[in-house]
A and B are shown apart, each in its own frame.
Chain A
Amino acid sequence: MAELMMPDSRRCTYFFLYDGSKVQGEGDPTREGICYFYPEKTPIDKQELLCGQLAGVSRCVSELSSSPVRVLRLRHSKFAIKMEEDFFWALGCSADFPTVSMCDLLDQLISLFCFYNGPVRQSYQENSRETLALHWSRYLLYLQTGSTELHHIFSCLRTIDSTHIDPLLLLKAALILQACQRCPLVLAGCILFRGRVVSTQMPPDLTVKVMAHETQTYNKDKKPNGVSSSAPLSRAVTSTTVHLTLSELQDLRSTTVDRESRSHSTPSKDNRPQRTCLSRTLSDTPSTDSHTDLETDSPDTPLKLDGLLSPVLSRGAEQSAARPTVNPLLFQFSESSPSTNRKGPRSGGNEEEDEDDSVLEKSYYYSFHSHGGNTSQADLQGEASPLAEASALENEPSATPMSDRRSGPGCWTPGQEGSPEGRAASRGSRDGRNSGGASLPRVGDKDRAVVPMTLYQHRVKGLVLALLVEPHFQRDTEAMEEVYHSSLASLNGLEAHLRTMAPGPPGPQGPYIFAHYDCIQNTLTTNVSGRAGGDQDHSFVRATSLLHSHFCNSEALQEAIIRSARTAVYATRSVAQETYFLQHGGVVRNSGVPNHQDTAFSLPSKARHRLLKHGVSLL
């Protein structure tokens, strides 16, 4: 299917992993530290230049500010940065790709690597760089291909087009997963068809990782083996070791059905975040206590200060780094004066903050802006400029640290990382993908620790049942056969159903374009077809990308209209969703001055009306 692929230049242009511990002395060549560099054909001296400069700049800034750098901006590109111990990752995109999505991509990439290879340091001790380079390139490819541009903007899961399949089949898939969970060694699972999610019991970020393996095995043995015989268990079944973070594991264990006795350690069970899995299975219907969670902590309205501030009180100092201290209550609608925004909360009520925090916070918003237009951080400009000049890569950008919130953890909502209350409170924005502390600048040992688990996969042609199971499941022949046999017939059937329900040609688009992003399930519904879209499709995607960034950056922003001379896109969001809408045709009465007859103002009601039939309720 020829989908609306983003030209390569729009997404990851550079990616590298640099190991600072390999380059300690003056004479150590930079290349010693380069573990992986993409594009791999880049001349080594250019690799060295980029690695050396970016690592140097980031190190310097982070030492000055005692907090890690998240984004570096150059004139034509920007880099998402991640520093952990001696490791330094950078992922570069062109300047017009949303920063939020770029940071997501880097986080996903790293956590994907750790999921299959374990901790980075350890895997580089155990494997050659060449082997792991292969893995990095594979993950990079996986995260960037096969999706539409809109999918990349939201970093969302690829799901099957549910408009073309009988909902009963989704139920069937959910029941298969549930039946597997009767085996106590099975934690959770998902069912995928041709690289798309049919049903999952796992949180979205975990599903993405599990899917990576599926996609690879699918591509490897694409030739269907005719009739899937029930006899040899080994042919269709594979198992591989994966590494779950402690929080991921706790999430899975504590929410598995009827498994109270088995959940080993959930000391903080009461204040755990609500699971963010795709609740498509019966087993996942939210329990009553998670409803309470939702009610008490939901940042539905930013006025709920309690929910937002509670993480501060309940969390250790080392985790507070993850909490941008912007108080949504006081956050300005416009971003014209970012420094005010930043300072707002300071005077506004987060009195309990310590000094360390304030330093941390600032450095989130650092970026090197080529135009130097924004001087809101004048106090730091002096130091930063020469640094950036030193980092002249292609354009000798004069650097100005600017407090552009987009460069910071714009997508990080208060207390999101690691904090149960915070996560629950901020689920509306970006929870799920960022869980597990993977993107924490300073993670506690607990968050970095991983537990080996087993990923069991049972393939029936294009259909895959993937289960996260306890490691000793593999040795438990009885349990394995039980799971295999209890699901085989249903998988065969489901595969037959899905195969015959080939998606017909997409119907006429209708007089409007929409995209509906479900933040909880991390899924996207849209009528932007995969095929090469027209002008309006492109403007819609661009507008969506821009508005999505804004939503991520400003907690308080709920509705927005973005317009050009010809068209207008309306966007609205709530805790759980973001919706974007464009109406085709019609005379745009745009006088340039706000005018009640302006057609743009009828967009909200049109969106509400039109999208109802897509199951999107904007009421």
Chain B
Amino acid sequence: MSAKTSLLKVILLGDGGVGKSSLMNRYVTNKFDTHLFHTIGVEFLNKDLEVDGHMVTLQIWDTAGQERFRSLRTPFYRGSDCCLLTFSVDDSQSFLNMGNWKKEFIYYADVKEPEKFPFVVLGNKVDVTERQVSTEDARQWCQENGNYPYYETSAKDATNVAVAFEEAVRRVLAMEERTDHLIPTDTVNLHRKPRSATSCCS
């Protein structure tokens, strides 16, 4: 079981300019590019990693934050295993918009049980000195919205980036384990011949 590599799709959502692409690039290629253009639509990179003995291919989907790219990005929400809600600590509006991002995701990803879906919250750009969002406010929001894990990251100086993505993986794996346990109770074994059926026909 643990030798098998599973593909996990995580998606980065958040306002334009909060650093979603930079986070992805920092994590996968360990590079930081100050000249990145707006992402148009979606982009993604894969990264193989091992978390707690599980081999995982993490497929990180980076999305366009601008409203005008909405129709391009939303079709790709479906099938996500985890959603990384991202804001920038030097931009309070991006923090306030997180609720909308969460709603948009749940709607377009067609999440069946939103309260159980693994979200992780990232406060990016902690290298910037002028903060507009305090750690306390962010933690409180996470607490109130479903007890999401919160990480303060900086794609620029690589603070907490790997930790955050690995946490996302752990969340997904934990979710899967829980569902794995649930499966036997919920399923019907189609291979077993129902006795009553034969007697009925005769």
Contact = CB atoms under 8 A, between A and B. Distances in A.
Interface of A: 166, 168-169, 171-172, 175, 179, 182, 227-231, 485-486, 488-490, 492-494, 496-497, 500
Q: Which of A179, A230, A490 has the most CB of B within 10 A?
A: A490
B44 A230 contact: no
A166 B25 contact: no
B41 A229 contact: no
Chain B residues touching A, range: 20 to 34
Interface in B54-106: 57, 59, 62, 69, 71-72, 75-76
B40 A496 contact: no
A492 B41 contact: no
Nearest to B7: A227
Contact of A168 (B35, B41, B45): B41
Given A230-B46, A489-B25, A489-B62, A169 B41 contact: yes
B48 A496 contact: no
Chain B facing A: main interface SS: mixed
Given A489-B43, A497-B41, 20 more contacts: A166-B41, A168-B40, A169-B41, A171-B40, A182-B35, A227-B7, A227-B46, A228-B46, A229-B46, A229-B48, A229-B57, A230-B47, A486-B33, A488-B45, A489-B21, A489-B44, A493-B62, A496-B42, A497-B42, A497-B72
Given A230-B28, A493-B42, A500 B75 contact: yes
26 contacts: A166-B41, A166-B72, A168-B72, A169-B40, A169-B72, A179-B37, A182-B35, A227-B7, A227-B46, A227-B57, A229-B57, A230-B29, A230-B47, A231-B48, A485-B31, A488-B45, A489-B21, A489-B24, A492-B43, A492-B45, A493-B41, A493-B42, A493-B44, A494-B41, A496-B76, A497-B41
Contacts of A492: 43-45
Contact of A175 (B37, B59, B72): B37
A214 to B, nearest CB: 22
B44 A496 contact: yes
Nearest to B29: A485
Contacts of A493: 39, 41-44, 62
Contacts of A497: 41-42, 72
Nearest to A229: B46
A485 B31 CA distance: 9
A489 B27 CA distance: 13
Contacts of A168: 40-41, 69, 72
Contacts of A486: 33
Given A485-B31, A489-B62, A230 B45 contact: yes
Contacts of B59: 227
Nearest to B75: A500
A491 to B, nearest CB: 8
A175 B40 contact: yes
A490 B33 CA distance: 14
A168 B38 CA distance: 12
A206 B33 CA distance: 31
A497 B35 CA distance: 23
Contacts of B40: 168-169, 171-172, 175
Nearest to A500: B75
A108 B7 CA distance: 45
10 interchain residue pairs of minimum CB distance: A493-B43, A489-B43, A172-B40, A493-B42, A485-B29, A489-B45, A492-B44, A490-B43, A229-B46, A497-B41
A235 to B, nearest CB: 13
Contacts of B25: 485, 489
Nearest to A487: B43
Contacts of A169: 40-41, 72
Nearest to A179: B37
Interface in B1-19: 7
A228 B42 CA distance: 16
B78 to A, nearest CB: 11
A548 B87 CA distance: 57
Contacts of A485: 25, 29, 31
A171 B39 CA distance: 11
A112 to B, nearest CB: 33
Nearest to B64: A168
A412 B45 CA distance: 48
B129 to A, nearest CB: 29
A41 to B, nearest CB: 48
A229 B72 CA distance: 23
Contacts of B7: 227
Nearest to B33: A486
Contacts of A494: 41
A485 B43 CA distance: 12
A492 B39 CA distance: 12
A175 B36 CA distance: 10
Nearest to B40: A172
Contacts of B48: 229, 231
A488 B28 CA distance: 11
Contacts of A227: 7, 46, 57, 59
Nearest to A492: B44
Contacts of A229: 46, 48, 57
A435 B48 CA distance: 48
Contacts of B33: 486
Contacts of A172: 40-41
Contacts of A171: 40
A5 to B, nearest CB: 34
A179 B76 CA distance: 24
Contacts of B41: 166, 168-169, 172, 493-494, 497
A229 B33 CA distance: 21
A481 B61 CA distance: 21
A227 B61 CA distance: 13
A460 B151 CA distance: 33
Q: Which of A172, A231, A496 has the most CB of B within 10 A?
A: A172
Contacts of A175: 37, 40
A478 to B, nearest CB: 12
A546 B76 CA distance: 47
B63 to A, nearest CB: 9
B75 to A, nearest CB: 6
A493 B38 CA distance: 13
A319 to B, nearest CB: 43
Nearest to B31: A485
Nearest to A231: B48
Contacts of A500: 75
A228 B75 CA distance: 20
Nearest to A226: B7
A152 to B, nearest CB: 34
A492 B29 CA distance: 15
Interface string B131-149: 0000000000000000000
A443 to B, nearest CB: 42
A494 B43 CA distance: 7
B71 to A, nearest CB: 8
Nearest to A182: B35
Contacts of A489: 21, 24-25, 28, 43-45, 62
B182 to A, nearest CB: 28
A288 B139 CA distance: 54
Contacts of A179: 37
Contacts of B31: 485
Nearest to A174: B40
B165 to A, nearest CB: 14
A179 B42 CA distance: 17
